[in-house]
Amino acid sequence: MSAASAPLDRVRPPRVAAPLTRDGNASARVADALREAIVGGEYPPGSRIRQEEIAERFGASRVPVREALKALEADGLVTLVANTGAWVTRLSLAECEEVYQTRERVEPLLLRYSAPHLDDAALDELERLAERMAETADVEEFLRLDREFHQRSYAGADTLVLGDLVRRLWNTTQPYRRAYTLMIDAHSQRIVHDEHHMLVTALRDRDFDTAERVIEGHIRRTRRLLASHPEVFETLPAIP
């Protein structure tokens, strides 16, 4: 079996961030470290985030930890419950379906804003990322490369609202993209990789209508598979 068709079933163990120093903006540092940990799957949806544990882990007081959690709530990564605590945001199947339907509609628009401003160097980098995704059988590496690929495809857009909205939607669906990646078979993997290359080809050809259709179908494929696996959502812990 080639590397491109090998099953994506090797998940890396959680990474433990080094303690933070007390100088500088401690809340931003805690937020950055927690964001990376949540996006990387160290804290699954519905898991409790205890302020005292985070403060001890990162060598910070509780005040910057609280500020960091508020920033992550704005990012869509954390749910704060008054007088109760903080949890990693989790979605029900219905919520996830709605978020993905939103992504199907707004990401093609963001791509349309971005595409005319992607030069040859940017497109070459997208091609390299697509090739690296096809070569890896490591789930976490694939997810990191995939996120970078799509963020770079949107990097040419200068928007007031849309870019931030798409980043938030990506944050809230990251754990479900991981579940999707673990579920798909070799045939579906090839389709995913083909779509990445098709997107780059359409962007090179300045065929923005096709590029929009590719990204819309790319997102829809994930939504439809997740909808057929409600157990992904039923096994997650509830947030009070």
Could you read off the pLDDT of 119-173 as tens digits, one per residue?
A: 999 999 999 999 999 999 999 999 999 999 999 999 999 999 999 999 999 999 9
Q: Say if residue 195 is in the same domain as residue 104.
A: yes
Per-residue pLDDT for 216 more than 60?
Answer: yes
Last residue of a domain, one of 46, 71, 88: 88
Cα distances (Å, whole numbers) of residue 177 to 2, 50, 96: 23, 25, 11
pLDDT at position 227 is: 94
- Domain span including residue 176: 93-234
Q: Say if residue 66 is in the same domain as residue 128.
A: no
Q: Which of 104-108, 182-186, 211-215 has the lowest mean pLDDT?
A: 182-186
CA distance 222 to 60: 38
Q: Say if residue 80 is in the same domain as residue 179.
A: no
Q: Say if residue 74 is in the same domain as residue 172.
A: no
Q: Say if residue 83 is in the same domain as residue 110.
A: no
The answer to whether position 64 is within a domain reads: yes
The answer to whether position 239 is within a domain reads: no
* 164 alpha-carbon distance from chain centroid: 13
Instruction: Give the best-scoring range by mean pLDDT among 16-20, 36-40, 93-97.
Output: 93-97
CA distance 196 to 10: 22
Q: Which alpha helices (DSSP H) does the chain contain, by range?
A: 26-39, 51-58, 62-74, 93-114, 120-135, 139-153, 162-183, 186-204, 208-227, 231-234
Q: Say if residue 215 is in the same domain as residue 199.
A: yes
Q: Say if residue 129 is in the same domain as residue 51.
A: no
Per-residue pLDDT for 3 more than 80?
Answer: no
Instruction: Give the best-scoring range by mean pLDDT among 168-182, 194-208, 218-232.
Output: 194-208
Q: Say if residue 82 is in the same domain as residue 197.
A: no
The answer to whether position 14 is within a domain reads: no
Terminal CA-CA length for the chain: 45
Q: Say if residue 102 is in the same domain as residue 194.
A: yes
Q: Say if residue 135 is in the same domain as residue 70.
A: no
CA distance 2 to 218: 23
Q: Say if residue 133 is in the same domain as residue 57.
A: no
